[in-house]
Structure 1
Amino acid sequence: MPRSSRALRLAAVPASALLLLATAACGGPDPGTGDSGPEAGTTGDAGAFPVTIAHKYGSTTIKSEPERIVTVGLTDQDAVLALGEVPVGTTEWLGGYKGAIGPWAQDELGGAKAPTVLKDTGTGPQVERIAALKPDLILALYGGLTKEQYASLSAFAPVVAQPKEHNDYGVPWQEQTRTVGRALGKAEEAAKAVESVEAKIAATADEHPGFKGTTAVMATPYEGIFVFGSQDPRSRVLTGLGFAMPDGLDSAIGDKFGAGISKERTDLLDQGAVVWIVGDVAKDAQKLHGDASYKDLKVVKEGREVFVDETSDFGHATSFVSVLSLPYVVERLAPQLAAAVDGSPSTKVEQPTS
């Protein structure tokens, strides 16, 4: 996977060449089985297991409380940490943090040993390294596992893949957290964690009534202009705060988390606010403002742009969109959005100071 959030997951390719270790494996595909496991449980509660969780490739049954968790999903570690567990292995996406644990999640890690960091370089999960960690649960919710990769990993541990109801890399953070809660036997704790963060987001939205119904979009200057669709977690940060997605956004993007747009479709950017995720705020803003197809839009002339430095902790957290990163993001993003939509072009949208 590209480390840059501008590169996103665009260079990821299916690892069809992966050797299938086995197909009849623990937690393997069972397309005919529904999501019929218990809805609640806590660690040590015998009633929480076995639990069956449906996903894109069928369903997976977790027979007992997992003790060695590996996260293949790029942000799944935050949900695990939020529920009081520490993975033995995590998959690095961005930030280069020790254990792939961002600063917004350090309190939950506490004094525990940092997980072993795995990498997804575009050819899929490191199957042999994951197997060496002897996992008894592999989480791949925020990801894009292929069926072959799923089968390979399922050869040695139950795997919870991405949900079939959403695009790859499109699982909502709430569903991600609740699903991890069920897999760990901590459904009640997960529900409370989701409710707590949703309450914080709702309170922020109430503090900024100007957000409600205002159209907004997230984009990045990757190989031209790349716009995130409504199913991308970054876009859901905006809708959670009360913003609305532009009409025609998803029809222009298709069934993906986002896509590059032509210069003829920069109208998708001319909204109540546009949030740019950029590698260098000053340079990228200057380049965008020199683009004839963009510079004359009202969103530019009326100062309704927000720039997020993707190389900062704030930028990393903005792309992470997890139960732990969201409070960190909203605290910093909301003041920027408020300045952008206040109706005064002279209001400067400041960068967060921490």
Structure 2
Amino acid sequence: MSPMSQRTRLTALAASVLLLFGAAACGSGESGDSGAPATDSGAQKGAFPVTLAHKYGDTTVKSEPQRIVTVGLSDQDAVLALGKAPVGTTEWLGGFKGAIGPWAEKALGDKPVPTVLHDDGTGPQVEKIASLRPDLILALYSGLTKDQYRTLSKIAPVVAQPEDGPDWSISWQDQTEQVGKALGKSDEAKALVAKTEKHITDAAAAHPEFKGKSAVVATPYEGMYVYGPQDNRSRLLNGLGLALPTDLGKVVGDAFGANISKERTDLLDADAAVWIVADPDKDAEKLHSDPLYGKLDVVKEGREVLVKESSHFGSAVSFVSPLSLPYTVDRLVPMLAAAVDGKTDTKVVHPAS
């Protein structure tokens, strides 16, 4: 599709969305969806209006939002952790009800389960989002385009991903604090970040053997795909006291991850290689059959950490939010400890859940 045709399609879509949005706003309010406004402790006094900077400019939130839609793939966790429930969430991993992972169910509590949106690669479901009558759209952990931002902004204020760094690379700390500002709960957000960081640093302190050791996160996607320094999975390894391979940032470049050439298979020869895979047994066998990777010490010495991506734990490893991180750390750290202990007969055991 040409750029002109794309703009024309978006303009027509925006017009239809506005009509739909207007009809919904004028209705009785009995929409039948599960996204009724959440009740919570409320925003800080004087928190609004608040202006948030992002990739496409500045967005002002004039008053405390009550109907929040999350387009960012993990934005819902910060919203839930701060006492609100989105009316709409975007599906990413796990196929969970309401796109709420098991680590976030307690935070949801008895609040209505959000309506799930799907992004099949064509972008946000604009008409469905409009039908939810949001007063705030969060797209922090996202790859929202400028045209998509403009279209969604016709429905409600949109807070997009940061200007600095690649798409899908906002740190969980910045994500949480941005959500906190948008909800009028900056102090709560900062406290939440500090509490979560302490969980990570406490785990690192309990495992001084991690200091001076290296680790990398990878997945067998179209070959061998590694996550770079600007990805939250890699940032967690750093938080636990593990270093990333020296040349990782240079190889990945200005992205959150990249496929590596066979000549750079050495990047995977870390003290611990965390693999996110579909089937640990089958994928390990396939990886070990690779003539270059199979000869590395990380394989010979049993330093691989194989994470099943479809498990609850596997989903949490990729989510990296203030709600998923404690869940992840408590399960991942014993695996990392077994991988780096220098004993070839130590088995790295995947958690049951």
TM-score of the aligned structures, taking structure 2 as reference length: 0.89
* Mapped partners of 2:94, 2:227: distance in 1: 20
SS in 2 for 1:52: strand
Letter in 1 for 2:200: I
Letter in 2 for 1:80: V
Q: How far did 1:47 drift?
A: 0.5
Of all paired residues, the percent bearing the same amino acid is 64
* Gap change, CA 1:147 and 1:194, over 3 Å in 2: same
8 Å contact 2:43–2:183 — kept in the other structure? no
Letter in 1 for 2:123: G
2:48 is aligned with 1:49: yes
Matches within 5 A, 1:90-239: 90-239=89-238
Aligned partner of 2:350 in structure 1 is: 351
* Per-residue CA distance 1:24-58 (angstroms, 9 max, x = gap): x9xxxxxxxxxxxxxxxx83444000000000011
Letter in 2 for 1:252: V
SS in 2 for 1:306: strand
* Gap change, CA 1:333 and 1:128, over 3 Å in 2: same
* Gap change, CA 1:16 and 1:174, over 3 Å in 2: farther
Runs of 4 or more off by more than 2 Å in structure 1?
A: 15-18, 42-46
8 Å contact 2:43–2:185 — kept in the other structure? no
SS in 2 for 1:48: coil
Q: How far did 1:262 drift?
A: 1.3
Q: How far did 1:213 drift?
A: 2.8
Unaligned segments of structure 1, at least 5 residues: 1-14, 26-41
* Per-residue CA distance 1:226-269 (angstroms, 9 max, x = gap): 11111011111111101111111121112111111111110110
Alignment counterpart, residue 19 of structure 1, candidates 10, 13, 16: 10
SS in 2 for 1:90: strand
Aligned partner of 1:275 in structure 2 is: 274
Aligned partner of 2:326 in structure 1 is: 327
Letter in 2 for 1:207: A
* Per-residue CA distance 1:288-345 (angstroms, 9 max, x = gap): 1111010111111111110000010000010111110000000000000000000111
Aligned partner of 1:243 in structure 2 is: 242
Q: Which one has a bigger Cα radius of gyration?
A: 2
Q: How far did 1:273 drift?
A: 1.0
* Mapped partners of 2:204, 2:6: distance in 1: 44
* Mapped partners of 1:182, 1:16: distance in 2: 33
Aligned partner of 2:30 in structure 1 is: none
Matched residue count: 322
* Mapped partners of 2:170, 2:132: distance in 1: 26
* Mapped partners of 1:166, 1:215: distance in 2: 24
* Per-residue CA distance 1:161-197 (angstroms, 9 max, x = gap): 0011221000000100010000000011111111111
* Mapped partners of 2:78, 2:306: distance in 1: 27
Aligned partner of 2:72 in structure 1 is: 73
Unaligned segments of structure 2, at least 5 residues: 19-40
SS in 1 for 2:46: helix
SS in 1 for 2:306: strand
TM-score of the aligned structures, taking structure 1 as reference length: 0.89
Aligned partner of 1:338 in structure 2 is: 337
SS in 1 for 2:189: helix
* Per-residue CA distance 1:185-215 (angstroms, 9 max, x = gap): 0011111111111001000000111112311
